[in-house]
Amino acid sequence: MSKNSVTKKLITTLALLTCLCGIGTLSVHAAPKAVSFNNNSKKITMFATQRKQLKVKLSGKYKKSDVVYSSSNKKVATVNKKGVVKALKKGNITVYAQIKGTSKKAKCKVKVFKNVKSIKVVGRKKHYYIGQQYQLNYKTTPKKTLEEITWNSSNDDVATISEDGLLTIKEKGKVTITVFSKETKVKKTYKIKTEEAPQISFKNGNKATVKYGNNYQIVLQYTNHDTEKIQYKSEDQSIATVDANGLVTTKRPGEVYITVTPSKKKETLRMLLVVENKTGFFENSLLYDNIDTSGCNKLMIVAHPDDETLWGGAHLKSGNWFVVCLTNHFTDVRKNEFKSVMEKAGIKGIILDYPDLVRDANKKWVKYDWDSVKDGVAADVTKLIKSKNWDLIATHSPAGETGHIHHKNTDQAVTNACISTGNYDKLWYFGKCYWKIPSGLKRITDEELTFKQSLVDLYKNETKPINTYWAQMIPYENWVKATDYVAGK
């Protein structure tokens, strides 16, 4: 094949492709309609007496003056020569826009609703209180309407109301609230009187402190509120009880919430009552005089029942101990278990009623920080230490073995008392608690372990926590003399 022939074929192919590409880019456009309604005028809704302007699009030579408007039912709605539709009554019609002298026309669907005949305010309240908000609503007749309904207040200083009917009470007074249709002017007025909210509160505040052993009278004050029947309740009756007249009787130191519930009011008020003990239980001479320390030459002071056994059970085997337990969670179970241990070990002891756990503002049990009883604990501890010439005094370490706040508080009271009374050289601290026993830590003897375990077994109520957290420490009691104590070791 010659070079010229190849060139001719290539030119022919390119020409053919060009034609095909040209055909591919061709598009077909429909001829524009002579007359048509704008998108927002093809289908409309109206209420009776309302007017709306229709808008059309024209093509070619036609002008607005060439368009003739007509209604399919003039009893429902009419349309003038400018395309303004006037709704008359409920119904459905079609409005036509037609070019004069032609059959070319466009259609608009019109739906007419009844206009508002009346409005009713719903959501009314008997009382409207300063500082509060209320949602008002309305009902119209007919129920369904296209009219714009809004609200108005006659005095914004007393109360304001939003377009959605949210009423905000600002001050005491009288105000007229109006709900109305902007189109038909149909309205409804609603007169209200605003007032201070009724309130019941504690006259002396929602926190009070009372000395252990004393009573406390709750006094309520009423604001814009009639006196009514009140129900009182103590959230921890082991600390304090309250009678039907609001008289509180203290039973032991600690903190307790007292609730006050009016019979006609759902809201419950709460006040915190702190029962303090700053002078100690041994201020009661009858209690102190009945303490029997005869035959005892060693004193152990612990925070909780079982502390004397977990941290010093092997030492108790030597006898002649007097054990003071400061707390008991005010349950007979803890008291009886402690008493059983004293009898089993052949030693003497006393258990006091200082607070262990209290319920917080969320009604959860939490460790009490002893803020209201530290002075009392110090007074009792000091009095016991001074009561006789002890050969040895044992208590928790400054670190609290496990870091427990009551262990630390107890140590602080005992250490300070030993220093102030000249007994610091007799003071010993319990050993450190290890979660993993280090190598070389000295164990107690098998005989001591058997004795100690027999005491541990008496604390049946504490079996689970002991087995979970402290069991690894039962074979160990590495006491350290206070004068040799080094923090962290």
Structural domain boundaries of the chain? 35-113, 118-195, 199-276, 281-484
Does the predicted model carry a pTM greater than 0.75? no
What is the rounded average pLDDT of the residues 77-104? 93
Give percent of the chain with pLDDT exceeding 70: 91
Output the six-digit token pair for 108: 């608009």
* Interval 36-65: pLDDT, tens: 898 888 899 888 888 999 999 998 889 988
Output the six-digit token pair for 374: 């530290």
Q: Which of 18-22, 130-134, 440-444 has the lowest mean pLDDT?
A: 18-22
* Interval 169-203: pLDDT, tens: 999 999 999 999 888 889 999 999 999 887 888 99
CA distance 372 to 144: 67
Is the per-residue pLDDT at 26 higher than 60?
no
Higher pLDDT, 458 or 28: 458
Beta bridge partners of residue 165, listed in sequence order: none
The answer to whether 232 and 259 are in contact (CB under 8 A) is yes
Instruction: Write down the CATH number for the domain with range 199-276.
Output: 2.60.40.1080
The fold of 281-484 is: Rossmann fold (3.40.50)
- Please report which confidence band the pLDDT of residue 20 belongs to, taking 50, 70 and 90 as the band edges: very low
DSSP secondary structure, 29-79, as one string: -PPPPSEEE-GGGSEEEEETT-EEE--EEE-TT--GGGEEEEES-TTTEEE
The fold of 35-113 is: Immunoglobulin-like (2.60.40)
Instruction: Write down the CATH number for the domain with range 118-195.
Output: 2.60.40.1080
| Shared fold status for 35-113 and 281-484 | no
Helix (H, G, I), strand (E, B), or coil: what is residue 9?
helix
- Please report which confidence band the pLDDT of residue 473 belongs to, taking 50, 70 and 90 as the band edges: very high
